[in-house]
Amino acid sequence: MDKNSVFWNIIRLDEVGSTNDYARDLAANGAPEGTIVVSKIQKSGKGRRGRLWHSPQGNLYLSMILKFSSEAFVMGQLSFVVSLALTKVLNELTGKSKFLCKWPNDVITSDYCKVSGILIETTGTSLNDFVIIGMGVNNKNHPDDVDGAIKATSLSDCGISIENEKLLELFLEKFLEMFNFWKIEGFSGIRQDWLENAYGLGQDIVIRLPKETLKGKFEDIDQDGAILFINEYGQRQRINSGEVFFNKD
């Protein structure tokens, strides 16, 4: 038995509303850490900000249950661990640095097309006892272009031919390694690695917040994962959640 299969208990479904909702119900009913829900299809896959996540057969849809008590901003660091783990797996598959992490938690190609999105859900209290990490990877297909959203692509269109099962295995192995590193070392090691694999450092960005839109130059992320940028007035500003767009949109 490899070290992966000791930690993970994978529940495989043919169809579900949302793997995140399914995993949340399991967690609320005592499912242990390491439980993973994978489905071939999602009927109502959820994206961030209440969007729908297009979920036909052929792509990877998974949600993991992790259990520990921590504040929400610490949980947010997990999105960097997840996106970095997937980015590394995809780059190892291609042998090139084609895939990059887009703040805060997307994986995109170097020509700015999204292949994966992550949705982290906590119990919603200041101290969480479990967290659901949902990840969708456009493996065989991808949604059509939508106005105002980053273009999507698929691994197939990027020349990667891999079955979802194999992708899941490679991802879980890498994620577990990095998750354990993060638990011991904290965010600093992940932060550096993430920056080395980040899209758009030094580039012009637009940050959409619920009530305003900010412009600036992407400079760094801080020790909590917040984005640091030089705003249009030349001041350094810090934002911990929002949607970032580069001038390709």
* Residues contributing to the site for ligand BTN (CB under 6 A): 18-20, 42, 45-48, 51, 53, 61-63, 106, 117-119, 134-136
Q: Under 8 Å CB-to-CB from 119, ≥6 apart: which residues?
A: 20, 46, 47, 48, 53, 133, 134, 135
Q: Residue 121 or residue 193: which is nearer to ligand BTN going by CB?
A: 121
Pick between residue 44 and residue 192 the one whose CB is nearest to ligand BTN.
44
CB-nearer residue toward ligand BTN: 132 or 221: 132
CB of 217 to ligand BTN, least distance (A): 24
User: Phi, psi at residue 245, to the nearest 5°?
Assistant: -125, 140
Does the N-terminal peptide bond of residue 143 adopt cis geometry, omega within 30 degrees of 0?
A: no
Q: Which of 122, 118, 160 is nearest to 139 (CA)?
A: 160
First-last CA distance in the chain: 46
> Shortest Cβ distance from residue 37 to ligand BTN (Å)?
8
Q: How far is the CB of 233 from ligand BTN (least distance, A)?
A: 30
Residue type, position 71, single letter: E
Shortest approach of ligand BTN to residue 236 CB, angstroms? 27
Nearer to ligand BTN, 42 or 122 (CB): 42
Rounded Cα distance, 84 and 99, in Å? 10
Which CB, 59 or 128, lies closer to ligand BTN? 59
Closest distance of CB 184 from ligand BTN, Å: 27
Residue nearest ligand BTN, CB atom distance: 117
The answer to whether 81 and 190 are in contact (CB under 8 A) is yes
Shorter beta-carbon distance to ligand BTN: residue 63 or 77: 63
Closest to ligand BTN by CB, 50 vs 234, is: 50
Residue 73 tokens, joined: 């901003």
Shortest spacing between CB 232 and ligand BTN, in angstroms: 27
Q: Rounded to an integer, what distance in angstroms lies between the CA atom of residue 219 and that of residue 213?
A: 17
Minimum distance of ligand BTN from residue 24's CB (angstroms): 10
The closest of 149, 62, 51, 41 to 102, measured between CA atoms, is 149
8 within 8 A of 172, measured Cβ to Cβ: yes
